[in-house]
């Protein structure tokens, strides 16, 4: 497949409306999470040409609140491809229309997997990073993938051996405070 880099990117802008507000009068985090998932889906499905599912979400940290009346732009790109998986990075920008100011409110990463009509993983087109930015994002995505695997391995250890790990952790903490 000839790589058309435009299919790796997606931009979506949404006006934050009163129905998205929480009890504090700001935009509810759940509303933003839903939009993030929709953007990740659209970006990954567009790139792969197939139905995709969300496998994981990394680091959704709200650096600043979003307010009703702001325009929020989601800038998404496929940063990495595996056999059937893709990492979609999403940068979120909020624009205060009246003040004509813009601010970066979050960046997060979704792992999406292409599936066939039976729900089985489906091969996605490979992506070869060409520019320095693409190469940096690709390498960072590989590191996040390794980190997710390490977290999953450690989480399994915790589920299977919580008492042993807690004792090791306590022993290590005591050793640090004595040294």
CA-to-CA distance for 46 and 4, rounded, in angstroms?
11
Residue pair 75/93 in contact by the 8 Å Cβ criterion: yes
pLDDT above 80 (res 6) = no
Convert the pLDDT of each residue in 125-176 to its tens digit.
999 999 999 999 999 999 999 998 998 888 888 888 888 878 777 777 777 7
Range 63-89 average pLDDT: 96
| CA–CA dist 147, 155 (Å, integer) | 12
Mean predicted confidence (pLDDT) in 100-119: 96
Q: What is the mean pLDDT of the chain?
A: 91
| Between 24 and 175, the higher pLDDT residue | 24
Q: What is 1-127's CATH superfamily?
A: Hotdog Thioesterase (3.10.129.10)
The pLDDT of residue 151 = 87
Domain boundaries, the chain: 1-127, 129-179
88-96 average pLDDT score: 97
In the prediction, which pLDDT does 162 show?
80
Mean pLDDT across 62-84? 96
Distance CA 26, CA 20 (A): 8
Per-residue confidence (pLDDT) for residue 167, from 0 to 100:
79
Indicate whether 3 pLDDT > 60.
Answer: no
Burial class of 87 by CB neighbour count within 10 A (0 to 12, 13 to 18, 19+): buried
- Give the pLDDT band of residue 81 (cuts 50, 70, 90): very high
Confidence label for 4 from pLDDT (cuts 50, 70 and 90)? low
Residues 40-67 pLDDT 10s = 999 999 999 999 999 999 888 899 999 9
pLDDT at 163: 83
Q: What are the residues whose beta carbons fall under 8 Å from the beta carbon of 140, sequence distance 6 or more?
A: 79
């Amino acid at each position: 497949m000839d790589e058309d880099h435009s299919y790796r990117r997606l931009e979506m802008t949404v006006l934050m409306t009163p129905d998205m507000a929480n009890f504090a009068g700001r935009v509810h985090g759940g509303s933003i999470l839903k939009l993030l998932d929709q953007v990740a889906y659209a970006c990954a499905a567009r790139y792969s040409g197939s139905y995709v599912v969300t496998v994981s979400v990394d680091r959704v940290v709200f650096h600043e609140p979003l307010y009703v009346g702001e325009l929020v732009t989601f800038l998404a790109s496929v940063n990495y491809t595996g056999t059937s998986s893709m990492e979609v990075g999403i940068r979120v920008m909020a624009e205060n229309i009246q003040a004509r100011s813009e601010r970066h409110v979050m960046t997060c990463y979704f792992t999406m997997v292409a599936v066939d009509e039976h729900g089985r993983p489906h091969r996605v087109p490979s992506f070869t990073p060409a520019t320095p930015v693409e190469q940096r994002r690709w390498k960072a995505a590989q590191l996040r993938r390794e980190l997710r695997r390490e977290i999953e391995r450690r989480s399994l250890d915790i589920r299977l051996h919580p008492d042993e790990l807690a004792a090791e952790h306590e022993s290590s903490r005591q050793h640090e405070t004595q040294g």
